[in-house]
Chain A
Amino acid sequence: MSDTHAQFAFVRSKMLPEAPPPASERGAAKWVRQNFFSSTINTVMTIFVFVVVIQIALTVVPWLANGVWSGSSLSDCREALAGETGACFAVLSERWNQLLFGFQYPSELYWRPLAAFLLLFVAIAPVLFQKYVPSKMLIFTALYPFIAFFLIWGGSLLTPVLALAGFVVGYFVYTKLVAQSFALGFFGGLFAALAFWILSGYLPVEGILAIEPVESREIGGFMLNLILGTVCVSLSIPFGIALALGRQSSMPIIKWICVVFIEFIRGVPLITLLFVANVVLAYFLPPGTNFDLILRVIIMITMFASAYIAEVIRGGLAALPRGQYEAANSLGLDYAQSMRLIILPQALKISIPGIVNVAVGLFKDTTLVSVISMFDLVGMIRGPISSSQEWNGVYWELFLAAGLLFFVTCYGISQYSQWLERELRTDHR
């Protein structure tokens, strides 16, 4: 045995250099062959798909290319096209403002929601790009809701200032009481804020430091979708976290409240909740109270989204190994600290795709408010624009535009989430 070994003994003294692959393994020709014509079935499929794509392009391209961009009615478009196929984009150039802002928002005030929209990016930047934006900017993020409210709804500057002051009062009471117990601090703060808001409701603020007010029913178009989407998503994430943690709680009352809430909301279609917001809530309110419809809808959509996000986050929490909780505990971190510093950062990271899924779905679902006769983007198209004499019969162009607006927003959200997932990945070697 050992003899043969000695006979064949061989030690490589120099490593061979890496050689390039043969020509058939390189270049575009190889790529096409491998990906499109590698087998009979593959070849047939390639030809079939090619034909279908050409057919679609042959109908769509002229329709787009011949599109008429000016004119004040559908018949103007037909005249301009003189029998050829072509889109009537004139409806967009004529009614773009209604699609974006609704048909009642005063046109001389368009700059206000536009400013709010631009400031939104400044406000969410420190949240979305934590590492790259100084955290002092978070102060602006905290003030942004009040600024945006003031810009969009107008009225007295004191209204948002008092609303903000309510939060400050609540927080102040919370810090005073939290040393005794968390529950006391939380409910004390909540109660103080509520009391402050109710009392300040009696202040005659109307007209003081005011800009021109706009009523909720005058708000519509894509702006309404954006308002509902942004507010509901940003509210439902903290509520969803609270519900998910509550569902894990060792205190049975808290646990069951969360379970019942989540299961009930998930078992009911959103549209039902919207009808409730529209009609039924009015029965429960004292007569004569004017509880803003947009606010009611925001409450309902937020509840709906919170329940879904809570379940997504619960999945993330369940995916964490028990050792993480134990390590956090064994170092002496208390419940709040271990959640905030150890558990949630990891659970939320796992939950990003699910949360984004809910957020994108929710944003698109805001178009459901058109069913309770609010004039959001879809409501505008189906209502005032399609039923107007000039544009009756124009569908494709309008829904194409609506689709594009939603696509751009949702695609942006999805791209961001993928970037964030890469950014948070720490396990690469």
Chain B
Amino acid sequence: MADTAPQMHVSDEVAISIQRMNKWYGTFHVLRDIDLTVYAGERIVIAGPSGSGKSTLIRCINALEEHQKGKIVVDGTLLSSDLKNIDKIRSEVGMVFQHFNLFPHLTILENCTLAPIWVRKTPKREAEETAMHFLEKVKIPDQANKYPGQLSGGQQQRVAIARSLCMMPRIMLFDEPTSALDPEMIKEVLDTMVSLAEEGMTMICVTHEMGFARQVANRVIFMDQGQIVEQNEPEEFFNNPKSERTKLFLSQILGH
């Protein structure tokens, strides 16, 4: 049951290893026997129809959802119900949500410095410098003292990315980061993600942006009904899909 996909290994260092992982919501079997190894520096795109369990899978990686069977090892730490392990993993794994989830009662700068100050115990001054550095990287340093409610959706999502980066994570998870955005804002967020990928960040992105997948992914994973149906490098995946369901899915989102 090992990964059969041909992989362009970026490195041999394993960042995330998921073995025979299963999850149920009540009696509903959402994730079935998931096996996945992610190497450090790899960029993975997960695609699949709505309800196929993509969000649930990446939310299991930082324990926002609890899995019931199988093993998840993140950066050498085994995910268990031990709260100390969970907090450790969460501080190493950044997550960007579909609806940004910025803290509306804090300024942009405070959003970015909160976790470094309280979790990493970074001195305030230093945390602010780091935050400004990342806000510059996502190209909105001039908004630092505004509140999230005063920013556009694209800007908010870039702040959310900067907020995660301020924790210096080893791995970044993206759950449909552009699907709540207007078309003209999608590009600015994707550009940010591309430049992050170019710097060698380990990334797992759930997204329907196939252009992004072609451009940066090392591997595309296709999920359906809680299972990994097919995984391959982007060129092969798009030009030469193996399974019928993948073909159907690709024809639906690419053709029209």
Q: Please state if A333 and B149 are interface contacts (CB–CB under 8 Å).
A: no
Whether B118 lies near A337 (C-beta < 8 A) is yes
Closest residue to A349 on the B side, CB-wise?
B105
Query: What is the total number of residues of chain B having a CB less than 8 Å from a CB of chain A?
Result: 27
A231 at interface by CB-CB < 8 Å:
no
Q: Kindly identify, within residues 290 to 344 of chain A, every residue whose CB is under 8 Å from any CB belonging to chain B.
A: 321, 323-324, 326-334, 337, 341-342
Q: Contacts A326-B64, A326-B97, A426-B105 hold; do A341 and B114 have CB atoms under 8 A apart?
A: yes
| B167 partner, pick from A331, A341, A342, A345, beta carbons under 8 A | A331
B191 at the interface (CB under 8 A from A): no
Measured between beta carbons, the chain A residues less than 8 angstroms from B104 are 346, 426-427
Report the minimum CB–CB distance from B176 to chain A (whole Å).
13
Of B88, B90, B94, B118, the contact of A341 (CB 8 Å cutoff): B118
In the complex, which of the residues B90, B103, B147, B149 contacts A330, with contact meaning CB atoms closer than 8 Å?
B90
Say yes or no: A333 contacts B118, CB within 8 Å: yes
8 Å CB interface, B86-143 against A: 87-88, 90-91, 93-95, 97, 99, 101-105, 114-115, 118-119
**Residues of A close to B91: CB separation below 8 A:** 331-332
Q: In the complex, what distance in Å separates the CA atom of A334 from the CA atom of B149?
A: 25
Does chain B have a CB within 8 A of A26?
A: no
Cβ of A68 to closest chain B Cβ, rounded Å: 55
Q: Does A131 contact B (CB under 8 A)?
A: no
Asked if B62 is at the interface (CB within 8 A of a chain A CB), the reply is yes
Min Cβ gap B158→A in Å is 15
The one of A331, A349, A426, A428 in contact with B115, judged by C-beta atoms closer than 8 angstroms, is: A331
| Chain A residues, Cβ within 8 Å of B43 | none
Q: Encode contact with A along B139-169: 1 for CB under 8 Å, 0 otherwise.
A: 0000000010110000000000001100100
Q: How many A-B residue pairs have CB under 8 A?
A: 71
> B101 touching A326 by the CB < 8 A rule?
yes
The answer to whether B119 and A332 touch across the interface, beta carbons within 8 angstroms, is yes
Smallest CB separation, A358 vs chain B (Å): 22
Chain A residues 255 to 286 lying within 8 A of chain B, measured CB to CB, are none
Nearest A residue to B103 via CB reads A342
Given contacts A331-B114, A346-B105, A323 and B119 within 8 Å (CB-CB): no
Are A327 and B62 neighbours in the complex by a CB distance under 8 Å? no
Measured in the bound complex, the distance between the Cα atoms of B88 and A334 in whole Å is 10
Q: Is the CB of B149 within 8 A of A429?
A: yes
Cβ B167 vs Cβ A424 within 8 A: no
| Contact partners of A341 in chain B: CB under 8 A | 114, 118
Flag if A332 contacts B90 (CB, 8 Å).
yes
Q: Which chain A positions have C-beta within 8 A of B147?
A: 426-427
User: Known interface pairs A426-B149, A427-B149, A429-B149. Does A332 touch B167 (Cβ–Cβ under 8 Å)?
Assistant: yes
Chain A neighbourhood of B101, CB < 8 A: 321, 323-324, 326-327
Binary flags per residue of A405-429, CB closer than 8 Å to B gives 1, else 0: 0000000000000000000101111
Of the listed residues B105, B119, B164, the one surrounded by the most CB atoms of chain A closer than 10 A to its CB is: B105
| B29 → A minimal CB distance (Å) | 23
B96 CB to nearest chain A CB (Å): 9
Interface residues in B148-207 by Cβ distance below 8 A to A read 149-150, 163-164, 167
Whether B103 lies near A324 (C-beta < 8 A) is: yes
User: How far, in Å, is A267 (CB) from chain B's closest CB?
Assistant: 33
Chain A residue contacts of B167, Cβ below 8 A: 331-332
Contact B97 A323 (CB under 8 A): yes
- B169 CB to closest chain A CB (Å) equals 9
List of B residues within 8 angstroms of A329 by Cβ: 64, 90
- How far apart are the CA atoms of A324 and B163 in the complex, in Å? 14
In Å, the complex CA distance between A131 and B106 comes to: 14
CB neighbours (8 Å) of B115 from chain A are 331-333
Q: Are A327 and B97 in contact (CB under 8 A)?
A: yes
| Complex: chain B residue closest to A332, CB-CB | B91
Q: How far is the CA of A334 from the CA of B90 in the complex (A)?
A: 10
Cα of A321 to Cα of B87 in the assembled complex, Å: 21
What chain B residues lie within 8 Å of A349 (beta carbons)? Answer: 105
Distance between A332 CB and nearest chain B CB, rounded to angstroms: 3
Which chain A residue lies CB-closest to B83? A334
Which of A323, A324, A327, A330 has the most chain B CB within a 10 Å cutoff?
A330
List, in ascending order, chain B residues with CB within 8 A of A331's CB: 90-91, 114-115, 119, 163-164, 167
B117 to chain A, nearest CB (A): 10
Query: With contacts A349-B105, A426-B149, A428-B149 known, is A330 near B64, CB below 8 A?
Result: yes
Contacts of B163 in A (CB 8 A): 331
> Taking CB as reference atom, which chain B residue is nearest A323?
B101
Q: How far is the CB of A429 from chain B (nearest CB, A)?
A: 6
Chain A CB within 10 A, most for which of B88, B99, B115, B150: B115
Measured in the bound complex, the distance between the Cα atoms of B104 and A346 in whole Å is 8
Q: Which residues of chain B are within 8 angstroms of A327 by Cβ–Cβ distance?
A: 95, 97, 101-103
Q: How far is the CA of A334 from the CA of B30 in the complex (A)?
A: 27
Bound CA–CA A323/B88 (angstroms): 20
Interface residues of B in 67-101 (CB under 8 A from A): 83, 87-88, 90-91, 93-95, 97, 99, 101
* Shortest CB distance B181–A (Å): 16
Which of chain A's residues have a CB closer than 8 A to the CB of B62?
330
Q: List 16 A-B contacts (CB under 8 A).
A: A321-B99, A323-B101, A327-B97, A331-B91, A331-B167, A332-B91, A332-B115, A332-B167, A333-B115, A333-B118, A334-B87, A337-B118, A341-B114, A346-B103, A428-B150, A429-B149
Residues of B within 8 A of A (CB): 62, 64, 83, 87-88, 90-91, 93-95, 97, 99, 101-105, 114-115, 118-119, 147, 149-150, 163-164, 167
Q: A330-B164, A341-B114 are in contact. List 17 more A-B contacts (CB 8 A).
A: A323-B99, A323-B101, A326-B64, A327-B102, A331-B90, A331-B91, A331-B115, A331-B163, A331-B167, A332-B119, A333-B114, A334-B83, A334-B87, A341-B118, A427-B147, A427-B149, A429-B150
The 5 tightest CB contacts between A and B, nearest first, are A332-B91, A427-B149, A327-B101, A323-B101, A331-B115
